[in-house]
Structure 1
Amino acid sequence: MTAKSGAILMAVLLAIYLALVGWRAVQFVATGEPVAVAMGIALVVLPIIAAWALWRELAFGVRSQALVRRLEAEGGVDLGIPLLPSGRPERAAADAAFGAFRAAAEAEPESWRAWLRLGMAYDAAGDRRRARSAVRRAITLERAER
């Protein structure tokens, strides 16, 4: 299963969940009992927060993939990091090459391309949190450039 089909499946499951929980929330609120009303309100608010979080993740995925495709079209995606037979980057090589990508992003702090490459290097090195942060910065910079 690809990441895209997994995300679509999660969105469909969330929609079904929201419908079922929404119906239960209406039933709780309709009782008029204070505790049941509070539970009904919680059943509405918590899934809305979940839907918002899922939307942010999907939007991040779509925007980051669009930037990667744009960088691919420009011929700037090759990080020069050797891949394992599974297709994943060699972590030791990624760690060794990482400094050059960080230096490039520091040298060009307004370049979304440099930040996207840095995010890809973080990802190759296994640091997902910093990878997401660098890619978010690339998305912000690319939007500002438009």
Structure 2
Amino acid sequence: MKTKLWVTGVIALMLLFSVVAVISAIGFIQAPQPLAKALGMAVLMVVAVGLWTLYREIRFGLSMERMGRTLESEGGLPVDDIPRSPGGRVDRTVADAQFETYRAEAEAAPEDWRSWYRLALAYDAAGDRTRARGTMRRAAGLFPG
């Protein structure tokens, strides 16, 4: 619940920033100087890219949440039993061993979103966030919901 409140706050701030930036951009566009008009158009493009990125990330997060709930209801979520150091870092040897299991599962069932979701969690546990996000996007693409 705490995370959802933070996300809502960030969305609200982004929307507020966008409104203020668009109002400023309109003022620049209405100015007679060509440089001001160009600056106003650039601000509008930055706002458009920011809003598109925000939309895409929210959609990605909601999709991850739906997939997680579905897997949980099916009993298919992997158990988080990787040993951790007192600082919270996972034991890399155990995480790497689990990763190989989930990689083989995804290779055996390339059209199953569940195997890709579990592989994404294994990438995350192994510390490879970039591949985790890419793999989760692949799972989301295969997810029927």
TM-score by length of 2: 0.89
Specify the alignment match of 2:16 in structure 1.
16
Q: Distance in 2 between matches of 1:123 and 1:106?
A: 18
1:93: Cα distance to partner? 1.7
Counterpart mapping for 1:61-140 below 5 A: 61-79=61-79, 81-84=81-84, 89-140=90-141
Show structure 1 runs of 5+ residues with no match.
none
Q: Distance in 1 between matches of 2:62 and 2:26?
A: 34
* Aligned partner letter, 1:106: E
Paired positions, count? 144
Percent sequence identity over aligned pairs: 40
TM-score by length of 1: 0.89
* Residues 77-132 of structure 1: CA deviation (Å, up to 9, x unaligned): 12453253677754432112110100000001111111100001111111111111
1:140: Cα distance to partner? 1.0
Specify the alignment match of 2:32 in structure 1.
32
Counterpart mapping for 1:48-59 below 5 A: 48-59=48-59
Q: Distance in 2 between matches of 1:70 and 1:103?
A: 22
* Aligned partner letter, 2:65: Q
Q: Distance in 1 between matches of 2:131 and 2:2?
A: 23
